[in-house]
Amino acid sequence: MPVRNFHVVSADESVLEAARTAAAMIPDAVGTVREFRDRASLGARIDDLEGLILIDPALFAPFSAYEWTLEFLRHATALVFVVARGKVEDADGLARFVGAQGAIQAPIEPRALAERLASPFSATPSTRPAPLVPGDPSAFERSLSGMLDDDAAESTRQRFLETITDEETGLFSATFFEHRLEEEFKRSNRFRFPLGLVSFVFDGEAEEAVLLEVAGVILTDTRDVDIVARYDANTFVALLPHTGPAGTRMFGERVLAKLAERDLHDLLGERMDWTVAHAVGPDSAIATAPAFLARVVPDRSGQFA
């Protein structure tokens, strides 16, 4: 385990003390501990942040720490944890949505925090939205809305939903998927764990009820850590962390078989035919996340990279 610097973003002395104690327990995993007690000091040093980061949402009020995390992780390689003062299950799910590693329950138990910092990819309780119900386009929105703080303004909730979800299917949007792909691609290359990527592409157009059914089929084979999106009108993509070539291929085959069982049809009444493509990293021949995505998403001529 490499030694990483630990950045604590909080003005709460109990959070800071717990972080110091946790870091002292794992000197082989945590190096320098830096504290940011206000947003002004954080903003001045943001380009220096890397390694491990503990974010206290209270320091960002009335703004969203999750939106800050989403934007920060677009440009940085770091392992971010978020302090949760409400239900940790809700906070953990939302933290993972924006690319963080998860949530840490307050009041923080130093030993539990130390275990997370020493093993940042360890299994933790995870929350995901309820499975989509075919024919019910509002199911995903209701589920995710319930994960947000009850005191959050409706406009903030709606803006967040529009940022990360596809309106017709409730899956992740292309923009959010690209953000998560960038982060997982960096982690895969940095820590050398396998990363699978699968696409399901059809020709023509389909009505919303059919698209919802496709989304439901794909989601039934995914895990909490997987990221599924509708990338464009004809393409669905799934990102599979810690999944090698065999697992990635099997996932694609299982989903394809289930789609065939549904006997779905497009707007012209013709049977939907699917093209499945997959790629696995890390791969020395794939230098960037967009190049990785191009292996499974066809260009305008219908060709894969």
Please write the tens of the pLDDT for every residue from 150-209.
Answer: 444 455 555 555 667 888 888 899 988 998 999 899 989 888 889 999 999 999 899 999
Annotated domain spans of the chain: 4-118, 139-294
Return the pLDDT at 47: 56
Spatial distance between the Cα atoms of 80 and 71, rounded to a whole number of angstroms: 12
Q: How confident is the model at residue 79 (pLDDT cuts 50, 70, 90)?
A: confident
Q: How confident is the model at residue 236 (pLDDT cuts 50, 70, 90)?
A: very high
The token pair that represents 102 in the structure block: 């998860």
For the segment 111-121, what is each residue's pLDDT rounded down to a tens digit? 999 988 886 44
User: Mean of the pLDDT values across residues 212-220?
Assistant: 89
Return the pLDDT at 82: 92
User: Mean of the pLDDT values across residues 48-62?
Assistant: 85
- Domain 139-294 bears CATH identifier 3.30.70.270: yes
Q: Look at residue 134 and tell me whether its pLDDT is greater than 50.
A: no
Report the range of poorest mean pLDDT among 52-66, 127-141, 189-203.
127-141
Fold matches, 4-118 and 139-294: no
Q: Under CATH, which number does the domain 4-118 receive?
A: 3.40.50.2300
Q: How confident is the model at residue 46 (pLDDT cuts 50, 70, 90)?
A: low
For the segment 256-300, what is each residue's pLDDT rounded down to a tens digit? 999 999 889 999 999 999 999 999 999 989 999 999 999 999 877
pTM over 0.85: no
